[in-house]
Chains A and B, each alone.
Chain A
Amino acid sequence: MKGDHHMILRVIAKCLIPLILIYAFYVQFHGEVGAGGAFQAGVVLAVALILHSLVFGLTATMRAVPPWFTRALSAVGVLVYAGVGVWAMLNGGAYLEYQALFLEPPGGHDGQHAGIIIIELGVLFAVSGGLSTIFYALAGRVAEIRDEDW
């Protein structure tokens, strides 16, 4: 980045992006007791990426988080979600039956805990990856914003 243009913007963005990322994970893990959940967390994660590309330019963001990665991330997210279902099936339960994950006797809750957390992780991957991919696809279509147009 050359020159002193938008120095305030850059500094603030640099401070904000880590906070946004942390907030995303807060929303992710706080989802079971308060407002939030993996979908919102995924959106917040993607927002951090969008802010980065608005301030530092699309090419810099694409270097940091390449498009193939966001695309793969969304696919992996779906796989994680569906994979938990198959895992339960392999252990003799119904599709997505968390109780069956660890072959617990009735009354055990580890499977329920683990199942929902892994699934939420899958949703986080899929949503953040998907939204970033959509953003890249849209942003890649137009010329970048020039300095005079700010």
Chain B
Amino acid sequence: MILELLLTSAPDWAIRHAAVLVVVVPLIMAPILALSPSGRLAWFLALLATAASTYFAILTLGIVQSTPGGIIEYWIGNWYLIGIEFRVDALNAMILLIVSGMAFLATVFAWPTILADVEKQKISLFLCAFLLCFAGLCGVAATGDAFNLFVFLEISSLSTYVLVAMGARNDRRALPAAFDYLIVGTLAASFYIIGVGFLYAATGTLNMAEMAAQLPALAGNRSVQVGFAFIVVGLGLKAAMWPLHQWLPNAYSYSPSFVTMFLAATATKVALYALIRWLFTIFNPDYSFEQAIFTWVLAPLGIAAMVICSFQAVFQTDVRRMLAYSSVAQVGYMILGISIATAAGVSAGLLHLFNHSLMKGALFMALAGVCLTYKGTTVRDFAGLGRSAPFTMSAFAIAGLSLIGVPLTAGFMSKLQLGYALFDHGWWWAVLFVVFSSFLAVFYVGRLLQAIFFEAPANPGRHRKEAPLIVLVPLWILALANIYFGIDASFPVGLANDGAAAALGLEALQ
């Protein structure tokens, strides 16, 4: 209903260019921000850009859902079949919506945390890097060209390194964290581009749809298989697939709190989307080598991430590290869902991707609020905060419960879908691991909640002090979304089902 209203009220140019404007608006706003003299103006412009991008992303979703084939094709420069294509179907439309929506909420709450974390004269450049990162992530999600995906991946990664390194003002350990991420991210990008090179040599095209059409004829071609392996490893590194996740805990723990929140909610999700695109749309699960990868590589790695990183999260004393390890574990759930390679499995993975960005967004936003008012991120620092900051902490608690997968929260819904998909596929034993990992989540989230609500404050001198309103409003939007989508999941489930159907090239599922 809202979508239809938007579609009918949108001007013609917006409908025609929606898919490309999602990326172009932040891309143009970024250099303007670099020229902006005042930080406040820069923040306002960034807010405008992310809001416009979100609008176009919603519009794109509406167009995709209302066109018969469910695909938007947009040839940049009108170079049909020669140039770069932006190709949006139900799968990328969903990712675009997640990325731009989270970027908008992140920008809204960013202002007080930026003031606290970033030097005054660097604020506009900082926001410029943020918009570039956002434009890069949207570009990865929107493009239909294998090489262009690499370019956008680099745009987002390079600006991410800058954003992570900006944490050095509060904690010098941000510098090695950013450097590690730079090395690993560059490795990932090189692996990806080597893979694309092999495939280009074999198929003679960089367009994803063209490539997909040519690959069946090349079954058994060794360079196709090598390219596939390189791409899976490269994107796996970017998506923090266990055991390629070592860059993530440090990058999340030491970067400015606003950056952590934005990255946790979007960056690995986009890499995971690219992986799904390669695994299902360009390559095909029917290929024997891909079937082997699903069963013997992705599924075991997903399960290992779920169990091992949940264990690691239990033993962390710093809340940000705890949540970062939990993020790797949650990526494990998504990988497990993908590795089932059925429509139900991919849909469960996508649903968890959607829900995870809601809950991690809320958790890290609440954490940023705590950083802002109490300047501490260890579990001890959280003791007694339930009494001094009840609103911030109850939103934190809701998102934490959603992370565990308590019924009536979004996390429960996606784990339920994942369980169904696993049972349908006959992998009942994997359900045991899902339950066990959720059980570990009870421990690490429970430890935090116990400290927050039941322990006496470590420092009794603390007064009642909430996070500022501008943090609380987006925080509660996310927290309530966690509850709403836990009760009525029809919207995200519909998105995920359509996305999975588009990825696998099926008709809509329902």
Contacts and interface: CB of A to CB of B under 8 A. Distances in A.
A97 B16 CA distance: 14
B32 interface: yes
A89 B13 contact: yes
Interface in A69-88: 71-72, 74-79, 82-83, 85-86, 88
A94 B27 CA distance: 17
Interface stretch (B71-79, B384-392, B402-410): B71-79
A91 to B, nearest CB: 11
A86 B25 CA distance: 10
Interface in A21-35: none
A94 B24 contact: no
Given A71-B34, A75-B35, A95 B27 contact: no
A98 B83 CA distance: 13
Contacts of A79: 28, 31-32
Contacts of B128: 75
A67 interface: no
Interface residues of B, number: 17
Contact of A75 (B17, B20, B31, B74): B31
A74 B35 CA distance: 10
Given A79-B28, A85-B24, A86-B28, A95 B17 contact: yes
Nearest to B125: A71
A136 B204 CA distance: 42
B177 interface: no
B331 interface: no
Contacts of B28: 79, 82-83, 86
Nearest to A85: B24
Nearest to A97: B78
A128 interface: no
> What is the predominant secondary structure among interface residues of chain A facing chain B?
helix
A76 B33 CA distance: 11
A75 B32 CA distance: 7
A13 B30 CA distance: 37
Interface in B75-125: 75-78
A89 B17 contact: yes
A27 B30 CA distance: 29
A93 interface: yes
Contacts of A85: 24
Interface string A7-47: 00000000000000000000000000000000000000000
28 contacts: A71-B34, A72-B34, A74-B31, A75-B34, A75-B35, A75-B128, A78-B31, A79-B31, A79-B32, A82-B24, A82-B28, A83-B28, A88-B77, A89-B13, A89-B17, A94-B20, A94-B74, A94-B75, A94-B76, A94-B77, A94-B78, A95-B17, A95-B74, A95-B77, A96-B77, A97-B77, A99-B78, A100-B78
Interface of B: 13, 17, 20, 24, 27-28, 30-32, 34-35, 74-78, 128
The 9 tightest CB contacts between A and B, nearest first, are A75-B31, A75-B34, A78-B31, A96-B77, A97-B78, A94-B78, A82-B28, A79-B31, A95-B20
Interface of A: 71-72, 74-79, 82-83, 85-86, 88-89, 93-100
